[in-house]
Structure 1
Amino acid sequence: MSVLPKFWAGVLAASLAMTSVPAAFAKTPADQLIVGMSMINLLSLDPAAATGLDVSEVNANLYDMLLVQDVKQPDQLVPALAQSWQVSDDRKTLTFTLRPGVTFQSGNPLTAEDVAWSLQRVLKLNLALASTWKAYGFTAGNAAQYLRATDEHTFVLELPRPTDPMLVLNTLATSPSAFILDRKVVQQHQKGDDMGGAWLTTHAAGSGPFILNDWRANDVILMSRYDGYWGGPAKLKRIVMRNMTESQSLRLMVERGDLDLAKGMSAPDIEALEKSDKVRTQTVQRGTLYYVALSVKNKPYDDARVRRAVRSLIDYQGINQTVMPHYGQLNQRPLPLGLPARLDDPGYTLNVAEAKKLLNEAGYPNGFKTTIRVLTEPPFINIASSLQATLAQAGIQATIVTGTGNQIYGAMRDRSFDILVGRGGGGAERHPHSSLRTLVYNPDNRDEAKLSNFQGWRTSFYSPELNALIEQAEVEPDKTRQLAQYQQIQKTLDAQVGAILPVSQMTDTVVVYHDVQDYQTHSAATTRYKDVYKSR
């Protein structure tokens, strides 16, 4: 990592010093955006390796994508590096025409070769973010054939197998793997066959509106304006992101003006700040769901009557009213809220009498003992505590087992759990298949298949009927028929009692100081700072 230049050291010192200024006079610099956020999950900036919402927001300001979701209407896709695109009549080929005159921050021209190389690189490195591309049929071996430049300004994506082109377009607009790299700069820093991976962990080679000046892990990220940006220079000169994990510290600093944005605050602190005229809040829906998962591999959850009983023992309304404000919003379907294909909630409520009847029919009149695996952090642990209490009302004695993310989700990936409270789904892609592929689809239920990227496989829930319906809907070209198919999938899943029981759809709340203008948090976590300014 580069040594922090004296200029930036001064900038950082000034921003840190603001905490000692009396509250009446605290004010961040007019030409800088000071952001407080947790960086504990920010492990790499490499677009081929970097997962998580936080790194998406960082990279969205350092890099560009071919196209993006409209910030106010995420179902609408709008041009970015690609000024236009066409889908062939047979739905197999997507052709992108790049906007002319775009240069990387290095000064190198951005060409279709950079686009092809960036996406091929994801598959060749074969890290976690390659999973979505592999689901479309791309591999390291065929990437050069199907992801190619035909001239300097034309990029062609040919689908190795049939799928809905709109699904692929949404992936290009939202996936952390879809940022376009300056291949010449990256290749200069390649070590062995890492394709520049070690260097890109702490550096950037993009064309975005801001240049990465420095990143200190779990400390600070510094970015400065790139005046040669193709969309015009950003309104602010600098972005300073500070690692802050204590919610009360974030609350204090944003309220008195030491921070412009505060992310990752606890619900009580957000609620307290909503009473202040110095700040405002922005809440945005994410594509992932909080859920209760059951392992169908284990008794008694292989019995649909028991799964239905557990479904009747979740206090959906109580959880969403008392636990989920600023964390999530009631959603009992596997599809994100707002998708045209999503059916209305089925109206599940806590019904102890119904659950007892089902348990008696299944041969468990006195209930049974079980475990609930869960992270210790809110709202996961709060959901688990509520579930433990309501299960007990029907005689199910559940012991809560806590652990780290690797321990909890690792047990799920190993298919070694009873009940698990977790979060997952299709992410930011505004397409039903994205969520169904993640939460329901299970093409091979054998342990040795190790399809751990499919959360349906993790639960051992296996339905050939649902698999066939999902595969059919994915490739259906008629939008009306496709819509009906996705609605039928939801009805069938309800009848079969899937092993993942959605409780709430994730929301994120950002606290914004009152003089910050044109900040709009994005549902895909690709929030861009280019047009943000301060009214002073």
Structure 2
Amino acid sequence: MKRHILAATTALALLAAGFGPAAAETVLTVGMAAADVGQLDPHRATTTQDKPVVSWMFNGLVRFKPGSASLEELEPDLAESWDKSADGLTWTFHLRKGVKFHGDWGEMTSEDVVYSLKRAADSKTSSFASDYAPVASIDAVDPYTVKIVLKQPIPALLGIVANYHGGNIVSKKAAEALGADFKIKPVGTGPFAIADYKSNESLTLVANKAYFRGAPKIDKILYRFIPADAARDLAFTSGELDVVYGRQDQRWVERFQKEKGIAVEVVQPSELALLFVNQSKKPFDDIRVRKAIAMAIDSKQIVGFKGAATAIPPVSVVPVGYLGTYNAKLYPHDVAKAKALLAEAGYPNGLELKVIQTSLPTMLNSMQIVQAQLKQAGIDMKMEVVDHQSWHAQIRKDLSEANYYSAARFPVADVYLKQFFHSRAIVGTPTAVTNFSHCSVADKEIDDAAISTDAAKQKELWATAQQKIVDDVCAVPLFEQLQVWARHDNVDYGYTFKAAIHLGPVITEATTKK
């Protein structure tokens, strides 16, 4: 049964407050490969389908330049400017004046910024709390000035205050007033505001006519959930969809590149696909079993199946192109050696590996390749396939013996290593993030690199950490998947779409549809 989370009266209130068009509407319809939204609280939104929407509704103190994922191209957003002390520990941000939150929630001030960043740093309210562990204090100097003091220097302070993950600024009044409902009724300062939600069907967003960069040229975004590939492709080719989440495979890209009036964009940053091996569950606490899994997997074959247009080989447990990525020595593909290791560990007839797997087609297809490869070495991987939202919930309860997880993060090795491989991030603990393997082998190097002020030493520590993680088989690098989106050529994003740090195109005030 469909449920409308925002009532018609709320939608009318948004219109009255300056949201939405007065005349004929320009509606941009976007199709996503998901059954439903996860949640839209920006400090909790981690799923592929949530991140693009969050980018349309929220701002950070700084932002990634639309179409870019480069640290060198970060630019002012809610902060007009900032200063830092000589020792890199004290940062002062000077806010724009007159920025309004969606609806009737008033002006954005330093009180909202302090509240948002402290909320992002709290594991009870954020999935990204570990990113803020080095922060000593966050204070409002005056209504338009915020001071952040660090315990020690960190590799990219601007990264944790950017319009990404915990850096998104929310309305303090709205978050406190709405409570649990904030996850589906979020209030930000971005170019679009949520107006309606139909479970398992769609989200509707309307233009924030009071947006500080100017009123959007698009009046409304209809974000449709279409999990079936064939149905989504048909909706796109028939013109029901203006923009579509593409399938990350060679044949899909080649097919739609031949279609007249369609632009296919394959963009960075890539999502690194890893198979996390859960060391807390027997027999995967045995390094020989983990090595056997690593050697049974053939990443070159996976890349070949995906196609060179959309996939590249992995080089480490941190994606290519991040600050600090190291070309690690990975385990070679060797089925005979894998079988020998299993026999040595007491499993001459092989063993069974039970995993919980998302039904998201692109991820399920990849895991089926891994399943076939493991089978050749005598490892029988049994998959329990569930919807994407349930999968996210279950793997965070530590219910799977291995986890296939594909992710892009802020492009610094520090963030990826802390979230996936530091013991503080182990799932099921009070400081849990996404350490599904229960890895702790490189804690010292990760911590030491985070506070190092010597760039060369920092990279050396990150390299050592990555090799230790690879050697211990905390996770097996599978492939790096570039992002694929397509649009009808009457849609102009207003920038060159080269990268999508938010896992989708950023729809801005400059985006148009003819």
TM-score by length of 2: 0.83
Residues 288 and 423, structure 1, Cα contact 8 Å, conserved in 2: no
Say whether residues 1:238 and 2:241 are aligned partners: no
State how far apart, in whole Å, the 2-side matches of 1:431 and 1:198 are.
32
Partner of 2:85: 88
Distance in structure 1 (CA, Å) of the matches to 2:373 and 2:263: 36
CA shift in 2, pair 1:384/1:53, >3 Å: closer
Q: Name the CA distance, whole Å, in 2 between partners of 1:73 and 1:201.
A: 26
Counterpart in the other structure of 1:51: 46
Alpha carbons 2:139, 2:147 under 8 Å: kept: yes
2:318 pairs with 308, 332, 335, which one?
335
1:2 corresponds to which residue? 7
> Partner letter of residue 523 of structure 1?
I
Q: Does the Cα contact within 8 Å between 1:225 and 1:236 map onto a contact in 2?
A: yes
Residue 157 in structure 1 maps to residue 162 in structure 2: no
Following superposition, the deviation at residue 67 of structure 1 comes to 0.7
State the secondary structure of the residue aligned to 1:212: strand
1:306 alignment partner, one of 289, 304, 329: 289
After superposition, the Cα gap between the structure-2 partners of 1:254 and 1:391, relative to the gap in structure 1 and judged at 3 Å, is closer
Q: What is the correspondence of 1:264-413 to structure 2 with a 5 Å cutoff?
A: 265=247, 267=249, 269-286=252-269, 288-323=271-306, 328-344=311-327, 346=329, 348-359=331-342, 362-364=344-346, 366-375=348-357, 377=359, 378-394=361-377, 396-404=378-386, 413=396
CA contact (8 A) 1:37 1:242 kept: yes
Q: Which of 454, 459, 475 lines up with 1:500 in the alignment?
A: 475
Match for residue 433 of structure 2 among 453, 459, 472? 453
Counterpart pick for 1:528 among 495, 507, 511: 507
Residue type of the partner of 1:33?
Answer: L
Distance 1:484 1:170 in 2: 21
* 2:161 and 2:167 in contact (8 A); partners too: yes
Relative to structure 1, is the Cα distance of residues 444 and 62 closer, same or farther in structure 2, using a 3 angstrom cutoff? closer
Q: 1:210 aligns with which of 184, 192, 204?
A: 192
Displacement of 1:339 after TM fit?
Answer: 1.7
Counterpart residue number, 2:18: none
Give how far 1:432 is off.
0.6
Structure 2 residue aligned with 1:178, among 160, 167, 176? 167
Please state how far the C-alpha of 1:120 moved relative to its aligned partner: 3.1
Aligned Cα root-mean-square deviation (Å): 3.4
Indicate conservation of the 8 Å contact 1:323/1:379, yes or no. Answer: no
What residue is the counterpart of 1:142 in the other structure? none
CA distance in structure 2 between the partners assigned to 1:384 and 1:111 by the alignment: 46
CA distance in 1 between partners of 2:413 and 2:404 (Å): 20
Indicate the SS of the match to 2:71: coil
Distance 1:476 1:62, change over 3 A: same
- 1:201–1:492 distance in 2 versus 1, CA, 3 Å: closer
Pair 1:479 & 2:455 matched = yes
What's the counterpart of residue 21 of structure 2?
Answer: none
Please give the residue correspondences for 1:420-431 in structure 2 after superposition, counting only pairs within 5 Å: 420-424=402-406, 427-431=408-412
Q: Specify whether residues 487 and 81 from structure 1 end up closer, same or farther in structure 2 by C-alpha distance, changes over 3 A only.
A: same
Rounded Cα–Cα distance in structure 2 between residues aligned with 1:94 and 1:287: 31
| 2:239 aligned with 1:261 | no
1:207, 1:307 → 2: CA distance? Answer: 47
Report the Cα offset of residue 209 of structure 1: 1.8
- Matched residue of 2:480: which SS? strand
CA contact (8 A) 1:147 1:157 kept: yes
CA distance in 2, matches of 1:72, 1:502: 25
- Does the CA-based 8 Å contact 2:26-2:219 persist in structure 1? yes
Equivalent position of 2:97 in the other structure: 100
Q: In 2, distance between residues paired with 1:510 and 1:310?
A: 33
Q: Distance in 1 between matches of 2:403 and 2:79?
A: 40
Letter in 2 for 1:215: Y
What residue number does 1:15 align with? none
Aligned to 1:491: 467
Larger deviation: 256-265 or 500-509? 256-265
Superimposed CA distance per residue, residues 149-169 of structure 1 (whole angstroms, 9 cap, x where no aligned partner): 10122111223x335051x32
1:74 aligns with 2:74: no
Contact 1:66–1:79 under 8 Å retained in 2: yes
CA deviations over 1:201-242 (Å, ceiling 9, x no partner): 443433222233333333333333333322122232332223
Say if 1:299 and 1:209 are closer, same or farther in 2 by CA, change over 3 A: closer
Q: Determine the C-alpha separation between the residues in 1 that align with 2:184 and 2:428.
A: 36
* Closer/same/farther in 2, CA of residues 297 and 39 from structure 1, 3 Å limit: closer
- Return 5+ residue gaps in structure 2 as ranges: 1-5, 16-23
Query: Corresponding residue for 1:513?
Result: 488
Distance 1:518-1:531 versus aligned 2 partners, 3 A rule: same
Q: Give 1:282 deviation, angstroms.
A: 1.5
Cα gap change, 1:213 to 1:389, in 2 (>3 Å)? closer
> 1:227 aligned to 202, 206, 209, which one?
209
Q: Which residue in 1 is equivalent to 2:19? A: none
Deviates more, 1:258-267 or 1:321-330: 321-330
Say if 2:416 is the partner of 1:435.
yes
Report the CA distance shift for 1:45/1:451 in structure 2 as closer, same or farther (over 3 A): closer
Q: CA deviation at 1:111?
A: 1.8
| Contact 2:420/2:433 (<8 A) preserved | no
Contact 2:130 2:431 in 1 (8 A): no
2:49 alignment partner, SS class: helix
Aligned with 1:341: secondary structure? coil
Q: What is the aligned-residue identity percentage?
A: 21
Q: Which has the larger radius of gyration?
A: 1
- When residues 324 and 127 of structure 1 are mapped into structure 2, their CA distance, relative to the original with a 3 A threshold, is farther
Aligned partner letter, 1:432: A
CA separation of 1:270/1:462 partners in 2, compared to 1, >3 Å: closer, same or farther? same
What TM-score do the two structures reach when normalised by structure 1? 0.80
How far apart are 1:450 and its partner, in Å?
A: 6.1
Query: SS state of the match for residue 223, structure 1?
Result: strand
Q: Distance in 2 between matches of 1:462 and 1:234?
A: 47
Distance (whole Å) between structure 2 residues aligned to residue 522 and residue 401 of structure 1: 31
| Counterpart residue type for residue 170 of structure 1 | G
